Amino acid sequence: MANVNLSSSSAAPNIKTLYHMTNKEAGRKILSSQFRAGHYGWCGGGIYFSPSPNDCWHKAAPGARRPDGVFMIEAQVDLGRMKSMDWHCTSPSFCYLFNEMTCPLDKTNQGAKFLKEGYDSTTFNPGDGQEYIIWDAARVKSMKQIPWPPAAPAYNPAAPAYNPYWYLR
């Protein structure tokens, strides 16, 4: 597919702080240049973000969750005019969260189609939390690496004896 200029079609910015998790090598390349759209996903090829680092962590493929290989990026993303999609987005509706590895996820670049419709980004929730997709790396206004996973907090005897989410506060 030819490169398509996906400049903003909206006048008002819609900037959100979003997160993207990848491996260390890809993360360093992104920070030294810019994001590049992936080749497939629930909404086709694009640049996928989550609203929190925790969402990235649980959405990532199991192999990507190795603490020694994780690179978490916090980005200010101008989503422009956003289209909301169903839970399966542009992938077949028989795909569902627990069969995504065997499901034929969308392998097309939907960016040009959504831009023609007047949208700069799309959002959907496949059942495990909201996701945001852009196609134009210029929509990322700033980005930085953040430590992940977070450092364990100091021991707190007042903390509940068992609360698996206590360390995320």
Full set of structural domains in the chain with CATH: 15-150+159-168 (3.90.228)
Using 50, 70 and 90 to split pLDDT, how confident is the model at 9? very low
Across 41-63, b (16+ Cβ under 10 Å) vs e yields bbbbbbbbbbbebbbbbebbeee
Using 50, 70 and 90 to split pLDDT, how confident is the model at 130? very high
Cα separation of 4 and 93, whole Å?
Answer: 28
Cα separation of 17 and 51, whole Å?
Answer: 7
pTM (two decimals): 0.78
Q: Measure Cα distances from 36 to 27, 39, 58, 71, 133 in Å.
A: 11, 10, 22, 16, 12
- 82-84 and 121-124 strand pairing: parallel
Residue that is written with structure tokens 């290989």 in the block: 69
**Three-class DSSP category at 59:** helix
Is residue 63 pLDDT above 70, yes or no? no
Average pLDDT, the chain: 81
More confident residue, 143 or 60: 143
